[in-house]
Copies of this chain bind each other. A is one copy, B any other.
Amino acid sequence: MASRLSTTSYALLSLLVLDRETTELGMTGYELKQRADRTLRFYWVSPAMSQIYTELERLDRHAFVSSVEVEDGKRTTRRFAITAAGREALDEWLRTSSTEFPVLKHPIALRLMLGGLMGPDAIKEMLDEYLEQVAERRAELEAVRVMLGDRDEVKYPAQVAEWGLAFFDSEVATAERIRKSLD
């Protein structure tokens, strides 16, 4: 039974299990991508569309999702929902697989290491741009957090969102501190 999928595969399965708690119809690949863009991206990755469809195909082969052709207004779309076997697979993954340590790929820190080659002005510019980008992303995530509210069914997703917000706040604090130290 322990046919291990990639973490990304389980991540998509997770989105489908959360979806199932609120709706009946399942999701299209397209919708799954939108959901990943809004949430998953902040603490994992948002896979490319092509990747989403490939993973859904794989999950379908494992019978972890069911795919149904649905009349969606005028066109027919393929909607995916997690199956009992899928929920079990997710559960087994949670229970038996070891939890990896987070990986942070931080191009700004990487470049800052070469501050000697960049010079203070270029560093400040880079940090300022980063601060702007963080502010944007933070606002997007904050919107997600607000939308979740304090409903009990989504308390864990809400905590994850808060974790992401705390990360951004920490990033802002550090970037600003370093920026100031350059004057």
Task: Judge whether B106 and A44 touch: CB under 8 Å.
Answer: yes
Given A167-B170, A174-B166, A178-B163: A100 in contact with B111 (beta carbons within 8 A) = no
Task: Judge whether B117 and A94 touch: CB under 8 Å.
Answer: yes
Interface size on A, residues (CB 8 A): 59
Task: Judge whether B105 and A103 touch: CB under 8 Å.
Answer: yes
In the complex, A7 has a CB within 8 A of chain B:
yes
Partner of A107, one of B100, B113, B129, B166: B100
**Please, how many angstroms separate the alpha-carbon atoms of A133 and B99 in the complex?**
11
How many monomers of this protein are in the complex? 2
Report the minimum CB–CB distance from A47 to chain B (whole Å): 12
Task: Judge whether B160 and A112 touch: CB under 8 Å.
Answer: yes
Of A48-56, A61-69, A71-79, A151-159, the one contacting chain B is: A151-159
Task: Judge whether A156 and B114 touch: CB under 8 Å.
Answer: yes
Which residues from chain B contact A169 at a C-beta distance below 8 Å? Answer: 170
In the complex, A43 has a CB within 8 A of chain B:
yes
Which residues from chain B contact A105 at a C-beta distance below 8 Å? Answer: 43-45, 102-104
Task: Judge whether A114 and B7 touch: CB under 8 Å.
Answer: no
In the complex, A25 has a CB within 8 A of chain B:
no
- Chain A residues packing against B (C-beta within 8 Å): 7, 11, 14, 17-18, 21, 42-45, 87, 90-91, 94-95, 99-118, 122, 126, 129-130, 133, 137, 153, 155-157, 159-160, 162-164, 166-167, 169-171, 173-174, 178, 181
Across the A-B interface, the 6 shortest Cβ-Cβ residue pairs: A115-B156, A170-B170, A43-B109, A43-B106, A102-B106, A103-B105
- What are 7 sample pairs from A and B whose C-beta atoms fall under 8 A apart? A7-B110, A42-B104, A44-B106, A99-B107, A99-B126, A159-B178, A159-B181
